[in-house]
Amino acid sequence: MPEQHVAFTLDPLVPVASLPAMIRPETTALVLVDLQVDFISPEGRMGQFGMDFTPINAALENIKRLATAARKAGVLLVWPRVITSPETDMAALKTLAQRKGRGEGSIATCRRDSKGADYYGLRPEPGDVEIEKTLFSSFHGTELDDRLKARGIETLIMTGFTTDCCVDCTAREAFHRNYNVFIATDSCAAYTPALHLGALNGLAKNVALLTDTQSVMAGWQPV
């Protein structure tokens, strides 16, 4: 069935003038979720399914700009990445795939030591925080919360892929763990506009404030 196009109205973005006090570099981290071959490269699994990477590519270019600005401002960069193996595949995940009529091979994404698990488009640098995860949330079963708190981080600016899955799950759990959450709306993307905008609406309603790449970069400029 063709995707139905629904008109979405997002919450207003945070006024640029208000951002500097909210995203102070010393207490803020830029989170770059799942910049990996299997998710955002035409050569990865999603590429093999014929996904339209136009919104992915646009968001990736904005992420590169944000990463450069973050480094210049002294903001911590955090890189959650999916790394799986047959041993880490949950029974519930297998059952879900089966009930959807998919084989177990459908969940074999970002396997350890595979090309699909590698970074794509941008890579961490010394001093960044790297996190390996097996599921959607970057906090689930990882040391992310401890590492952020050890650095005095209070605020997260979320970017990455996909808006409706791993960005969404990470943002919600961050809020539950008492972080202030911002979503850089044009530095994340999903495989369809409806999924992207729907996820942003849900996050804005419940756990996050919306901003964009240019506003965040302006917020990190010296006063």
From CA 213, how far away is CA 181, in angstroms rounded? 15
From CA 23, how far away is CA 18, in angstroms rounded? 9
What lies within 8 Å, CB to CB, of 171 at 6+ separation is 156, 158, 181, 183, 203, 207, 208
CATH no., domain 16-219: 3.40.50.850
From CA 82, how far away is CA 60, in angstroms rounded? 17
Q: Over 80: is that where the pLDDT of 77 sits? A: yes
149 is catalytic: no
Confidence of residue 19 (pLDDT cuts 50, 70, 90): very high
- Among 19-23, 48-52, 134-138, 160-164, the range scoring the smallest mean pLDDT is 48-52
Comparing 124 with 3, the larger pLDDT belongs to 124
Interval 213-221 mean pLDDT? 97
Q: Over 90: is that where the pLDDT of 9 sits? A: no
34 is catalytic: yes
Annotated catalytic residue within 166, 168, 186, 188: 166
User: Could you give the percent of the chain with pLDDT greater than 90?
Assistant: 78
The pLDDT of residue 181 is 98
> What are the backbone angles phi and psi of residue 113, rounded to the nearest 5°?
70, 10
Q: Are 204 and 210 in contact (CB under 8 A)?
A: yes
From CA 115, how far away is CA 152, in angstroms rounded? 34
- Scan for tokens 């973005």, then name that residue: 13
pLDDT in tens, 30-76: 999 999 999 999 999 888 888 889 999 999 999 999 999 999 999 99
Instruction: Please write down the HEC assignment for all residues of 132-156.
Output: EECCCCCCCCCCHHHHHHHCCCCEE
The pLDDT of residue 108 is 75
Q: Over 50: is that where the pLDDT of 200 sits? A: yes
The pLDDT of residue 88 is 79
67 CB-contact burial (10 Å; exposed 0-12 / middle 13-18 / buried 19+): buried
From CA 223, how far away is CA 218, in angstroms rounded? 10
The pLDDT of residue 87 is 82
Q: Over 60: is that where the pLDDT of 153 sits? A: yes
The pLDDT of residue 104 is 65
Annotated catalytic residue within 34, 38, 164, 168: 34
Which stretches of the chain are DSSP H helices? Answer: 19-22, 37-40, 45-48, 54-73, 91-99, 144-150, 168-176, 193-206, 213-219
From CA 100, how far away is CA 15, in angstroms rounded? 43
Q: Where are the domains of the chain?
A: 16-219
- Scan for tokens 């202030």, then name that residue: 180
**Alpha-carbon distances of 17 from 14, 63, 75, 212, 220, rounded to whole Å:** 8, 22, 19, 13, 11
The pLDDT of residue 128 is 98
188 is catalytic: no
Confidence of residue 1 (pLDDT cuts 50, 70, 90): very low
Annotated catalytic residue within 38, 110, 133, 169: 133
Which stretches of 7-140 are DSSP H helices? Answer: 19-22, 37-40, 45-48, 54-73, 91-99
Task: Give me the chain's average pLDDT, please.
Answer: 92
Q: Over 80: is that where the pLDDT of 172 sits? A: yes
